[in-house]
Structure 1
Amino acid sequence: MTTEFVFISSDNLHYLCPLFIKILLPLSRIKFVFIMEFLKFVKFFLVFGDHFFKYFPKFCSHKRDSTIPNPVFHLVHLEFLSFCSYTYLMTRTAVGLVGPIASGKGEVVKYLKKLGFTVFSLSDRVREEVCVRGLPLSRENLQNIGNELRETYGGHILAERTLEMLGDFEGNIVIDSIRNPSEIEFLKEALGITIIGIDASPEHRLEWYIDRAWKRGEDGTMEKDFVKANSRDLGLGENNFGQQVGRCLAMADVIIQNEDTKKHLLEAVDYYLISELGFSPEGTRRSKEK
């Protein structure tokens, strides 16, 4: 038995029962995670079309067009599963940032905010948990609680909680503080997000790390503090639920090396947004020229 999968257009949606029509048409305003679950159900349902659809017209209020083969309905497997993804994202750009400590991610976040992006940080979910427990907001506490949350609720938990905050938000977004591969996998499936990696040499990052600590009033910060924080951040000695920035960086769609000036870093970000993502400063997607 072979089931044909071709695209079902809006012109022949009415061949499906009215219940499906009422659900499918307003999908673009429903949370994407629920949309994907619904589409998976419909895909499963339609796979058995060879047995079911010959009886299906009895449940429809419209007579099926005889030009459409019976019992096969026209549906493209991938395009149907991605239908709402394209509808939901075609008016916005969704970017995720990964990179080791003091690599320049903060500068990129500030720049994207100037371009109109709204920033959602996974580490904010950890800070909220630390505050609820009445603990100091130290780097060690943030790392420990973050690891505990991932191990207890799954590696994707911080991404899931952040996604819940999006609601019906339709603007351009950047998701920061991604530190575990499960978070990337979840965001890829749920948002079709593009992951941009920001990296720099250990020498540069050490210099920026100490300079940043000095500006924060942490005068006692030394190289050994950087080595300790950097090792744990990259995932050295951590289990699968810990911070795994090294593995996350390997999953990035593009890695921008930050070895020059801030201007060069932001120009590289600009180039990628425009040439690869079709992003314009006005905050809209545009078709890439062939």
Structure 2
Amino acid sequence: MLIVGITGTLGAGKGTISDYLVKKGFNHYSVSDYIVEEIKKRGLEVNRDSMYTVGWDLKQKFGPDFIVKELYKKAKTEGKDAVIESIRSPGEAVSLKKLDDFVLLSVDADQKLRYDRIRLRNSVKDQIDFETFVSNEARELQGSDDPSKINLPACIEMSDYKLRNDGTFEDFYRQVDEAIGTR
């Protein structure tokens, strides 16, 4: 069994990797989806600010790796190769990297290309102007010594493989296959 974690910048291709691996038989788990469900339970509006606030709240109450531990437990119970999408804090990455069956991929792409991609997703949280996109990204790219806080540079640095998604799907999928081994 292999668990693939995905980190990376906004709109870089985390979902594209997940979709590709699901087609290859992997189960999919998403930190963002977990947080969105919690936001809905609390009756809040789903946006990047509420995701940040609720994610932070869960990590403060239950530990910096709480969500990924919950997702990992589900994956182990189901016993299939799995992908955990949206790893954004060092506490999550460190916890998962201790596991023998885990590999962490990071993905990045040109900023304008990433903004164009999120606009096409039609996700409620991504219907923003370019300035808001840049501001949201700046928040995620700030470093912090707190393992509970979003710190993409630290997660990207910890990744086992750093992928670029500026080209074709075929090129991107080839990078994924090389990183995880053809399964």
Coarse TM-score class (shorter-chain normalised): 0.7 to 0.9
Task: State the Cα deviation string for residues 244-281 of structure 1 (Å, max 9, x = none).
Answer: 1121011000101111122211121122222xxxx43x
Could you tell me how far apart the structure 2 residues matched to 1:98 and 1:158 are? Answer: 14
Q: Give 2:90's aligned amino acid.
A: P
Displacement after TM superposition at 1:152 (Å)? 2.5
**Deviates most, 199-208 or 261-270:** 199-208
In the alignment, what sits opposite 1:154?
A: 63
Give the AA of the match of 1:267.
R
Deviations 1:25-58 (A, max 9, x none): xxxxxxxxxxxxxxxxxxxxxxxxxxxxxxxxxx
Letter in 2 for 1:250: E
Looking at secondary structure, tell me which structure has more strand per residue: 2
Change (3 A) 1:97 1:140: same
Residue 209, structure 1, aligned to residue 105, structure 2:
no
Which amino acid counterpart does residue 100 of structure 1 have in structure 2?
T
Confirm whether residue 221 of structure 1 aligns to residue 136 of structure 2: no
Match among 127, 137, 154 for residue 247 of structure 1:
154
How does the TM-score come out when normalised to structure 1?
0.57
Counterpart check, 1:200 vs 2:109: yes
State how many pairs are aligned.
183
Separation in 2 of the partners of 1:204 and 1:238?
30
Distance in 2 between residues matched to 1:118 and 1:218, nearest whole Å = 24
- Describe the superposition over 1:54-113 as per-residue Cα deviations: whole angstroms up to 9, x where unpaired: xxxxxxxxxxxxxxxxxxxxxxxxxxxxxxxxxxxxxx2221111010001111111111
Does the residue aligned with 1:112 lie in a helix, a strand or coil? helix
**Closer, same or farther: CA 237–202 of 1 in aligned 2, 3 Å:** farther
Shift of 1:127: 2.0
- How far residue 234 of structure 1 moved from its aligned partner, in angstroms, is 2.2
In structure 2, the residue matched to 1:135 is: 44
Highest CA radius of gyration, 1 or 2?
1
Query: In 2, Cα distance between the equivalents of 1:192 and 1:218?
Result: 32
CA deviation profile, 1:109-162 (whole Å, cap 9, x unmatched): 111110000011122321232122111222211111101211232211111222
Pick the aligned partner of 1:273 from 157, 170, 180: 180
| Structure 1 unpaired stretches of 5+ | 1-91, 281-290
The change in CA–CA distance for 1:184 and 1:240 in structure 2 (over 3 A counts) is closer
1:263 maps onto 2:170 in alignment: yes
Task: Give the distance between the partners of 2:13 and 2:111, measured in 1 at CA.
Answer: 12
Query: Structure 1 residue 231 and structure 2 residue 135: aligned?
Result: no
User: Which amino acid in the other structure matches residue 158 of structure 1?
Assistant: I
Contact 1:103 1:200 in 2 (8 A): yes
Q: Displacement of 1:166 after TM fit?
A: 3.1
* 2-structure distance, mates of 1:223, 1:152: 33
Q: What is the root-mean-square deviation of aligned Cα atoms in Å? A: 2.3
Aligned to 1:81: none
Deviation at 1:169, TM superposition (A): 2.0
Q: After superposition, where does 1:1-290 map in structure 2 within 5 Å?
A: 92-190=1-99, 192-212=101-121, 215-216=122-123, 221-235=128-142, 239-274=146-181, 279-280=182-183
Paired letter, 1:163: Y
Task: Describe the shift of the 1:217–1:97 C-alpha distance in structure 2 as closer, same or farther (beyond 3 A).
Answer: closer
SS in 1 for 2:78: coil
